[in-house]
């Protein structure tokens, strides 16, 4: 898929460069190509991908707690006031022995130490912290999936919105052509002396009065294209003309209501968020409960301390017997007894997590009920739009026949121009109504896709 994105990107740039040299080029994008380009250029998707990488780093940090920890330290201390013990003379069998005075501590001792610690048993603290971090990764993955899905549906909606505007523009241009055709017939009949000039003037007014509707329809096409370009991450207009290739046709599907509801319970972004929040609150509760239990860890420590000459007080950093080392091992059992008190922070965190779980469960049930009702309403709307399509299609067929008949009759002077204009208006309304009904059905499909949590059916 990524290779396809790159090819589309390079192809797009190539056509843009060609257009800058030889004039405006027309770049044609199908729906699939537009979706691929939009996903590649989406800044919000890139941000969520970065958030996913950050969440994965949190998992690595949480997993590191299973492994031994190694700490090192270097300490230097300067002691300003040191007392030297006085000389002492002792009498041994009549022989005096003098013990010279000495310093008890060095003036600038240096201590180098390294300690290795390993947790033996944490009563689930590390495990639950790791699972909480992994749940964060799943939440970030859900965000990425939803951004892709949501952007895909938004591009589809905007794409077909452009197709609708383009087709409506064509209908309005065709209707303008029919009015110009009626004006041509009126001029011929006037030249033949069959109708007064008022009939020609009236036909000219009808043509000029309808031109603003055509201009408005063309502007709607431009606006719709700008909406698509915004979703595709295309800024401004270059030396190229972008064209979307597609047609506005209804895509009928057979849906099973209960299956759609079950799929929505599994895929809907809002419901997945609530479930993630429930899981996170559960892990937070377990971590808080674990803090009320002992922490058992082993340690091994080795330290080196610089020596000194007791007689002169001189620090010894180099040479033989300059450093003295100590090695120790042990087991540490740590227990925070205040956590056992009813009013402790740990008990409050457990209670808060329990309340959070219940709150999220209630929201989940409420959202499920709302989604079930929304799916039922959308299925009814699809049926209604399907009926509108069938009815409007029949209206287009009848209005087309009626207009063709009226045109022939007007050309032979059998009906006034007002009756021909009525058939033009009816045909125009029927054609626009059909296109609107098709887009309404497609739009309802997109709404249903959002509700179920998919990007297509």
pTM metric for this prediction: 0.81
pLDDT in tens, 335-356: 887 777 888 888 888 889 999 9
Q: What local confidence, expressed as pLDDT, does residue 421 receive?
A: 95
Would you say residue 242 has pLDDT above 80? Answer: yes
Please check whether residue 185 lies inside any domain of the structure: yes
The label of the residue with tokens 């250029």 reads 41
Residue 83 has pLDDT above 70, yes or no: yes
Helix axes 417-452, 345-411, angle to 10 degrees: 160
Matching residue, tokens 């030297």: 84
Q: How many domains does the chain have?
A: 1
Task: Name the region of 34 (left: φ>0; alpha: ψ -120 to 50; beta: rest).
Answer: alpha
The pLDDT confidence band at residue 236, using thresholds 50, 70 and 90, is low
Phi, psi of 250 (to 5 degrees): -70, 140
| Structural domain harbouring 208 | 2-41+122-294+335-452
| Tens-place pLDDT, residues 368-399 | 999 999 999 999 999 999 999 999 999 999 99
Query: Could you give the angle at which helices 125-191 and 43-63 cross, rounded to 10 degrees?
Result: 170
Assign residue 273 the CATH number of its domain: 1.20.1600.10
How is residue 415 annotated by DSSP? S
DSSP characters over 136-185: HHHHHHHHHHHHHHHHHHHHHHHHHHHHHHHHHHHHHHHHHHHHHHHHHH
Distance of alpha carbon 111 from alpha carbon 72, whole angstroms: 11
| Band (23; pLDDT cuts 50, 70, 90) | low
pLDDT tens-digit map of 262-287: 999 999 999 999 999 999 999 989 98
Angle at 446 between CA 445 and CA 447, to 5 degrees: 90
Q: Do residues 340 and 292 make contact, with C-beta atoms less than 8 angstroms apart? A: yes
**Is position 354 within any domain?**
yes
Beta strand residue intervals within 295-424, DSSP E: 295-308, 315-316, 323-334
**Within 10 Å of residue 238's Cβ, how many Cβ atoms?**
17
> How long a stretch of residues is the chain?
457
The strand pairing partners of 115, in sequence order, are 71, 301
For residue 319, the model assigns a pLDDT of 82
| Exposure class string for 58-71: b at 16+ Cβ within 10 A, else e | bbeebeeeeeeeee
Query: How many other CB atoms are there within 10 angstroms of residue 104's CB atom?
Result: 11
77 within a domain of the structure (yes/no): no
CA-atom Rg of the chain in angstroms: 41
Per residue in 302-312, pLDDT (tens digit) is 999 998 888 88
Counting residues of the chain whose pLDDT is more than 90, the rounded percentage is 71
Does a structural domain hold residue 68? no
Burial (0-12, 13-18, 19+ Cβ within 10 Å), 53: exposed
What are the tokens at 166? 């383009």
Residue 394 counted as domain residue? yes
For residue range 48-75, list pLDDT tens digits in order.
999 999 999 999 999 999 999 999 999 9
* Mean predicted lDDT score pLDDT of the chain: 90
Q: Is the pLDDT of residue 314 over 90?
A: no
Tell me how far apart the alpha carbons of residues 159 and 213 are, in angstroms, rounded to a whole number. 22
Q: Is residue 192 situated within a structural domain? A: yes
Distances (CA, A) of 1 to 6, 13, 159, 352, 454: 9, 19, 21, 44, 18
pLDDT at 9: 47
82, 35, 95: which is closest to 233 by C-alpha? 35
> Is 70 exceeded by the pLDDT of residue 3?
no
Residue 27 belongs to some domain of the structure: yes
Q: What is the mean pLDDT of residues 225-238?
A: 86
* pLDDT, tens only, 157-184: 999 999 999 999 999 999 999 999 999 9
Residue at 82 is within a domain: no
């Amino acid at each position: 898929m990524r290779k396809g994105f790159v090819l589309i990107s390079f192809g797009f740039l190539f056509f843009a460069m060609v257009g800058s040299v030889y004039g405006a080029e027309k770049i044609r994008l199908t729906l699939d190509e537009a979706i691929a380009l939009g996903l590649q250029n989406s800044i919000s998707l890139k941000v969520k991908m970065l958030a996913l990488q950050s969440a994965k780093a949190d998992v690595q940090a949480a997993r590191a707690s299973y492994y031994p920890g190694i700490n090192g330290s270097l300490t230097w201390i300067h002691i300003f006031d040191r007392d030297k013990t006085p000389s002492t003379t002792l009498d041994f069998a009549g022989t005096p022995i003098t013990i010279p005075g000495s310093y008890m501590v060095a003036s600038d001792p240096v201590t180098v130490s390294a300690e290795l610690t390993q947790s033996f048993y944490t009563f689930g603290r590390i495990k639950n912290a790791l699972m909480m971090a992994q749940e964060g990764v799943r939440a970030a993955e859900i965000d990425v999936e939803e951004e892709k899905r949501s952007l895909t549906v938004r591009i589809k909606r905007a794409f077909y919105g452009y197709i609708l505007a383009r087709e409506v523009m064509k209908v309005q241009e065709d209707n303008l052509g029919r009015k110009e055709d009626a004006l041509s017939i009126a001029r011929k009949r006037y030249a033949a002396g069959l109708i007064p000039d008022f009939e020609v003037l009236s036909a000219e007014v009808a043509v000029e009065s309808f031109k603003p509707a055509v201009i408005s329809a063309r502007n709607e096409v431009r606006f719709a294209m700008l909406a698509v370009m915004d979703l595709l991450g295309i800024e401004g207009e270059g030396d190229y003309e972008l064209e979307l290739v597609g047609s506005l046709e209804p895509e009928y599907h057979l849906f099973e209501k209960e299956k759609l509801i079950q799929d929505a319970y599994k895929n809907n972004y809002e419901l997945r968020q609530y479930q993630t929040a429930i899981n996170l609150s559960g892990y937070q509760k377990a971590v808080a409960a674990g803090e009320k239990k002992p922490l058992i860890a082993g340690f091994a420590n080795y330290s080196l301390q610089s020596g000194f000459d007791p007689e002169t007080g001189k620090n010894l950093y180099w040479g033989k017997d300059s450093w003295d080392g100590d090695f120790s091992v042990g087991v540490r059992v740590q227990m925070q007894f205040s956590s056992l008190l009813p009013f402790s922070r740990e008990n409050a965190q457990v209670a808060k997590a329990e309340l959070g779980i219940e709150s999220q469960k209630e929201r989940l049930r409420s959202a499920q009920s709302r989604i079930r009702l929304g799916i039922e309403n959308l299925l009814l709307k699809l049926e209604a739009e399907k009926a509108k399509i069938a009815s409007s299609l029949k209206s287009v067929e009848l209005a087309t026949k009626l207009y063709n008949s009226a045109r022939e009759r007007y050309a032979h002077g059998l009906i006034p121009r007002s009756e021909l204009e009525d058939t033009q208006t009816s045909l125009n309304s029927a054609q626009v109504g059909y296109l609107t009904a098709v887009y309404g059905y497609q739009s309802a499909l997109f709404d249903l896709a959002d509700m179920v949590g998919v990007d297509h059916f």
